[in-house]
Structure 1
Amino acid sequence: MTEQDTIRTYYERDHDRLDELFTTFQRLKRSDFARAKEAFKEFKVGLQRHIVWEEDLLFPLWKEKTGMSEGGPTFVMRAEHRQIGALLEAIHQKVAEGDPESDREEQQLLALLGAHNMKEERVLYPSIDHVTTEDERTLVYRQMQDIPEDRYRTCCGTHSH
């Protein structure tokens, strides 16, 4: 993460990294389940971390800078994060059981994530970049590093929110 990164470029890169991990899981789950499981675990922790970054740092910053909360884009995104979390847990449950038959849940998750990420990348991230200074973004990056791992390295629905 460089000081010149915009929120948009940094968070889009993380979306792309997560997409690749999930694609790896899907590609390997019927041929090399052990490697698929590792990719899924990394995807799950990474996605949970991404959501914590947004909800703990970006969304409060957005509210502070714009005054928008209820009914604004972050209100919708929080609700979608709950849906994403439920689908993630449904897939995780099957992975934990060694069951590769999670295609339906994966398709639901991908459809939801696709629409969700597009809204973030086209609307929220550019808007946050627009209303923040480089110093404020640098502070966000520092705070991202300071979030304790137990906030997002969770298993089987034991979330702290």
Structure 2
Amino acid sequence: MKSVEKPQFIFFLAAFIINLFIYQCGLAIDINTATAEELARELAYVGPVKAQRIVEYRKKIGGFVSPEQLLEVYGIGPKILERNREKIVIANNTAQLALLNEAYHTPIDLSPPLAKSPRLVTPSLLWDTVIIIPLFGLCVFIFIKAWLISLKKDKVTANTLEN
């Protein structure tokens, strides 16, 4: 690997890691309130058709109690569920849980949930404006700077070869 390529490689690696971190921070989605478009956008291997099936099944049963109920939706298998398990959040709505309890005839614990770390349910415009856009600008700046440095080194190398 030439010394000119090392800064570019390091830049692209850093940009990839930063984008991966940003992408992973805002992916939690409440499957009881999300629209079909949001489900298709946020869940891996779930397109518009499967997302619409999830919404229709949610309406049919009155809402999901656990992520495993997604397996009852046609087209959603164990692999898709496991791939998206960390992204799925179910809101703690006690009235809805009571109705679902009657429908399934199973006891549901309605006690207050234990303290959990807060998760971002939907991305916001503030997140885009404050974090993503400036980081994108920084990545573009670093890319252009590395490119200009490599051009300058190429000129110096060409001049020394001519002499």
Q: TM-score, normalised by structure 2?
A: 0.28
Q: TM-score, normalised by structure 1?
A: 0.29
Q: Which gives a bigger RCO, structure 1 or 2 (Cα 8 Å, sep 6+)?
A: 1
